[in-house]
Structure 1
Amino acid sequence: MPHAKLTFTDVSLTVNVPAGTRIIEISEKIGAGITYGCREGDCGTCLTYVEEGAENLSEPSALEAQVLREAMAGRNDRLACQCQVLGGTVKVRHG
Structure 2
Amino acid sequence: MPKAQVTFADVGVTVTVPTGTRLIEISEKIGAGIVYGCREGECCTCLTKIISGYENLAPPSVLEDQVLKDNLAPRHHRLACQAQVLGGEIVVKPA
TM-score, normalization: structure 2? 0.98
CA RMSD of aligned residues (A): 0.5
Tell me which stretches of 4 or more aligned residues in structure 1 moved more than 4 Å.
Answer: none
The structure with more strand, counted as a fraction of residues:
1
Q: Given residue 66 of structure 1, which amino acid in structure 2 is its aligned partner?
A: Q
Match of 1:87 in 2: 87
TM-score, normalization: structure 1? 0.98
> Structure 2 unaligned runs (5+)?
none
> Structure 1 unaligned runs (5+)?
none
Q: Is 1:41 aligned to 2:17, yes or no?
A: no
Aligned length: 95
Q: Aligned to 1:65, what secondary structure does the other structure show?
A: helix
Q: Given residue 89 of structure 1, which amino acid in structure 2 is its aligned partner?
A: E
Percent identity reads: 63
Counterpart CA distance in 2 for 1:10 and 1:35 is 12
